[in-house]
Amino acid sequence: MSSVILVTGASSGLGRAATERLARAGHVVWAGMRGVSGRNAAAAGELQALALAEDLRLRVVELDVVSDTSVDAAVAHVLAADGRIDVLLNNAGRMFVGLVESFSADQLLEQLNTNLVGSFRVTKAVLPSMRASRSGLLLHVSSVFGRIGSPLYGIYQASKWGMEGLYSTLAAEVHLLGIDSVIVEPGPFRTNVAAGGVTPADHHLVGEYGAAGAVANGWAAGFAGFMAQPIPDLDPSVFADAVLALVQAAPGARPARQVVGLSFGVDQLNALAAPFERGMLEAQQLGFLMAPRDAS
């Protein structure tokens, strides 16, 4: 059975790869992106041409995750057209890279507004229809950097660690309503995510940081070199295939977290942390919230 799927940040990168893979698998896919008639007009046109050429149920919808009005309008449009949203792929995001001190408070807010608050806006908009149908799947694209720390990614990681806390909590709150909520933790992939970053407001501070400053100055070249390696797990198709597998998995049997691509050991970390997270629920006498649904 096909699902109605809304993908945010579908114009390029992981969102674009997942959008095409899901549509080719027979699902109804709404490719959400900002600037459909502006900055992303070319991407929107390519997806519309693909839908026509391959007879796919793939549509484009204007959706800017930093705008309540845009998010609400997009979700209302999809619901009016198809009557439901079975799956949300919360993928839209930006990556700010640099020394923590070199960013301004406003830039931190900008990073959080896209990755953390933006994903929350879309989740909040789709949940009423999922609650009404007592079914649905929420896929939140975090990162392996949402579980482990690394220099230069602190601002970005603040947004992804926030997503981890927010959506691990949400999973327990919606489970007995028939809704699965999964945190997807991709490793690095060959995408243009870094192009969505900003120059730190106080970039000149790299000169005060010695070796760490030198690393910051050389980051772009080092990152490009890493991505040029012939590593199969850097191909966005790996992410797209993993998303499709989660969509097609049995409701209630999906994992709390799914690492995709290069894991850097995060899959092992998740396995080690799971009993402690379950123990926290049990200690608060809340374990029943994650009980099998047929026992609820």
257-260 β-sheet, strand order = 58-62, 28-33, 4-7, 87-90, 136-141, 179-186, 257-260
Say which amino acid occupies 112.
L
pLDDT at 56: 98
* pLDDT reading at 295 higher than 70: no
pLDDT at 180: 98
pLDDT tens-digit series, residues 140-175:
999 999 999 999 999 999 999 999 999 999 999 999
Give me the architecture of the 4-295 domain, per CATH.
3-Layer(aba) Sandwich (3.40)
pTM: 0.96
* pLDDT reading at 47 higher than 90: yes
Q: Which residues are catalytic?
A: 11, 142, 156, 160
Q: What share of the chain has pLDDT > 90, as a percent?
A: 93
pLDDT tens-digit series, residues 229-260:
999 999 999 999 999 999 999 999 999 999 99
pLDDT at 195: 78
pLDDT at 193: 80
pLDDT at 294: 77
pLDDT tens-digit series, residues 178-225:
999 999 999 999 988 877 889 999 999 999 999 999 999 999 888 888
* pLDDT reading at 296 higher than 60: no
Spatial distance between the Cα atoms of 122 and 66, rounded to a whole number of angstroms: 10
Under the banding of pLDDT at 50, 70 and 90, the label for residue 35 is very high
